[in-house]
Structure 1
């Protein structure tokens, strides 16, 4: 398998009139750059899918994680070019901004390069129980968000990479995320980072054992009244009055639309397009007009610039919905973000379970993993592209890692491990897993001490490897490596 190469070919098969011919003799239309990019990416996904199958079957093969020196540099470069090919070819300003951000911050590099991380795991853990995996577990992908009634709850909050995978894939990604964040944001020593990661894994296993015994996962939820101290503080810090939030951050003086600034670019001529999208969303989700959403009337639309890390550069729109009072004090904002394939696609061990494609996949993951979640989480097609939707809320927030002490780092890691366990435990209740999952995970994680230490050692090794990758990326970025995609000329 050639690492990181996509192919463009010239042909000498021409008719007398000079037009290219197919083998059957019919004229062949030149594909657009966008279609070529999609075909190249799909080819790489299928190549890695085959590699995953071979690894799962026990074949001895060379893995990306084994590459060193220049070979590793070119693997990192080609993987990131491939992952951002559409954004690079569209010359999206967000793509350049993202590469600049990744260059300046190692934790952001980890968050924004999930494909690189998971290609190092291709085909691993085929014997482990399968769950509806979040796919991108790290300390800032847990947070406060609205539930189905618009009230704040705490849990996993980013479903862009969801896919059915071994439960250990989420634990390994999460453990590595806590290791890197505790180093970069918390400035903790290696010994203390081990304690933080251990708490994350122990919190997961303790909660999973509880679900195996009591089966309370469908009813549990972290709320203001029942959360540990570190999460109660997050609830308090995240809370903001809706009226103040709308007028301070979004609305123009009339209250009839978005206020333009560096982040918000109003697109008032797209109201009809997004009204259709909102109507489709309501129909697909099975609700008509929630009391707090008035008549579901779209007042305005804007592009949201500069948001996210992994998704930076992908089209993202905010849609303003008139609230019941009609005076812009209780309006609702729904976000629509273009969906893409999961970074884990083709890399996980073969499984009979599938979550669907693009936005439908994301919605399936949210429906499984967040039992009390946002009713506006959905999937719609806009101008031929797949978009996922969710409600923006005054209290949607994640934790400020800079404010955590060593003690609260451990407390927070333990709570996040438990929240991840709840989302996994729902895989056989609301997802497609057709066997009693919780006892299987508890059994697979024995002996407990060995399992915890294995995850911790994986995180330590992965973080050290990614730190070296980040150095290679920064050097290549400075040399202009990500201004173009890979091509092979012949």
Structure 2
């Protein structure tokens, strides 16, 4: 048997094994949603929990490890250095702990990866800055409480690791997030603001208004300082970028297809949509680190080098919630189409370049990289600002959820259903806060076990079951 045949046979066995594990967790989710007492991975302790976490992380990275994808080792190193990075980069571990839970809760289109750094400033349809939820990679339909629980857990972990706060203050910050969500949902039920309202420079709370001010960067200097070569007709070579100019024609076709799908015409706002250069982007992201990513330089409206656009092509991946939520599956053409659906539901009049394309049979997400795309610097916040920020994020999430029946695939009035499900309100807030604190502590132990495994080379190659 040739080496190619052995690799193909091994690849087929690996995919079958991954499919078996996914199906096993889907059956677990279905049973937990339907029965009274079925053990979830949260019941595991000690060595059994360590092996579960290791197996889940390996399974989630089989392709990257198998192909020795650039950035894979860097991701594993990053996860070892920081509990917050570990939380962000191991969503599958988090959601397998929740498999099938909260099946009686109202369903919405979930963001899927709510935490303090997945809210930020991004371009809207007019290429102007807005603030809202900003990462839709894990989007999918499920109980509204899943986003609140992950968001509250993220705030607890970040408030400890980045803010340096003790238990009481961490709990109050998490409560501020849940209370903000409830207040935001009440606003949507009363005023129906979710259809058009989004935070802009002119209507933001002071903390976010400052973020807008700090994020505003001149496009000309941003392009010149970070991306363009000396002539401005292509990308520079750097640790972050490797120009692949030979693929301009290929990406011009992809841009043309994207423009047709999104209804973008070559005009004064979008420019000529002519591809000037293409580059591979290295070392970006946390969960997606190690997956292919490209930057495309487009000629801007003025046809000179000062106002060009950069469109990112980011490989799409399966949602960590897939098969685990106690909700009916929705069919999408591919993973990028699911992510695009999430962005269009959650954001009114979002980024015009947000779309999906296929490269060599693989699904890629597209979006604009703007000079003002930014998120808040958590290191700079004092305790009062942490609570303010948590409240703002909770309200922004509520507005995104409330659009699930306006634009998404929900056929009942979301706001009153969620408000009723949160009663009695003080109990709901306390339940979510307690969940978040327990989940954060469990993840702290998981991280300790992960670092032990990482130090011993557990993630350098695949075990026999997956290898």
TM-score interval, normalised by the smaller of the two chains? over 0.9
Structure 2 partner of 1:370: 347
| Kept after mapping to 2: 8 A contact 1:161/1:343 | yes
Structure 1 partner of 2:134: 157
Of 455, 461, 464, the match for 2:438: 461
SS of residue paired to 1:153 = strand
Residue 327 of structure 1 pairs with residue 304 of structure 2: yes
Structure 2 partner of 1:309: 286
Alignment RMSD? 1.7
Of 48, 53, 69, the match for 2:46: 69
| Kept after mapping to 1: 8 A contact 2:141/2:327 | no
| Kept after mapping to 1: 8 A contact 2:267/2:301 | no
Structure 1 partner of 2:100: 123
Residue 177 of structure 1 pairs with residue 151 of structure 2: no
Structure 1 partner of 2:183: 206
| Kept after mapping to 2: 8 A contact 1:353/1:433 | no
Structure 2 partner of 1:282: 259
Structure 2 partner of 1:217: 194
SS of residue paired to 2:8 = coil
Within 2, Cα distance between the matches of 1:272 and 1:216? 43
Residue 46 of structure 1 pairs with residue 34 of structure 2: no
TM-fit CA distance, 1:36: 4.1
- Structure 1 residues 10-44: Cα deviation after superposition (integer angstroms, max 9, x where no partner): xxxxxxxx99xxxxxxxx99735544443332322
| Kept after mapping to 1: 8 A contact 2:59/2:466 | no
Within 2, Cα distance between the matches of 1:352 and 1:383? 26
Within 2, Cα distance between the matches of 1:93 and 1:295? 33
Structure 2 partner of 1:85: 62
Of 374, 383, 392, the match for 1:397: 374
Structure 2 partner of 1:347: 324
Within 1, Cα distance between the matches of 2:331 and 2:19? 17
Structure 1 partner of 2:123: 146
Q: Give the unaligned 5+ runs of structure 1.
A: 1-17, 20-27
Within 2, Cα distance between the matches of 1:253 and 1:439? 57
Residue 250 of structure 1 pairs with residue 247 of structure 2: no
> Which of the two has higher C-alpha Rg?
1
Within 2, Cα distance between the matches of 1:109 and 1:89? 21
Normalised by the size of structure 1, how large is the TM-score?
0.92
Of 51, 75, 92, the match for 1:98: 75
Distance 1:134 1:290, change over 3 A: farther
TM-fit CA distance, 1:291: 2.4
TM-fit CA distance, 1:189: 1.1
Structure 1 partner of 2:145: 168
- Structure 1 residues 201-241: Cα deviation after superposition (integer angstroms, max 9, x where no partner): 00000110111122121110100111001101110111100
Within 2, Cα distance between the matches of 1:204 and 1:196? 13
Structure 1 partner of 2:358: 381
SS of residue paired to 1:427 = coil
- Structure 1 residues 170-200: Cα deviation after superposition (integer angstroms, max 9, x where no partner): 0000000000000000001110111111110
Q: Which stretch of structure 1 is more off in the superposition, 242-251 or 41-50?
A: 41-50
- Structure 1 residues 33-64: Cα deviation after superposition (integer angstroms, max 9, x where no partner): 54444333232222111111111111532211
Within 2, Cα distance between the matches of 1:297 and 1:178? 42
Q: Which stretch of structure 1 is more off in the superposition, 137-146 or 288-297?
A: 288-297
Q: Which stretch of structure 1 is more off in the superposition, 127-136 or 87-96?
A: 87-96
TM-fit CA distance, 1:395: 0.1
TM-fit CA distance, 1:488: 3.2
TM-fit CA distance, 1:489: 9.5
Give the total of aligned pairs.
Answer: 465
Normalised by the size of structure 2, how large is the TM-score?
0.97
SS of residue paired to 1:144 = strand
Q: Give the unaligned 5+ runs of structure 2.
A: none
Structure 2 partner of 1:486: 463
SS of residue paired to 2:132 = strand
Within 2, Cα distance between the matches of 1:94 and 1:217? 38
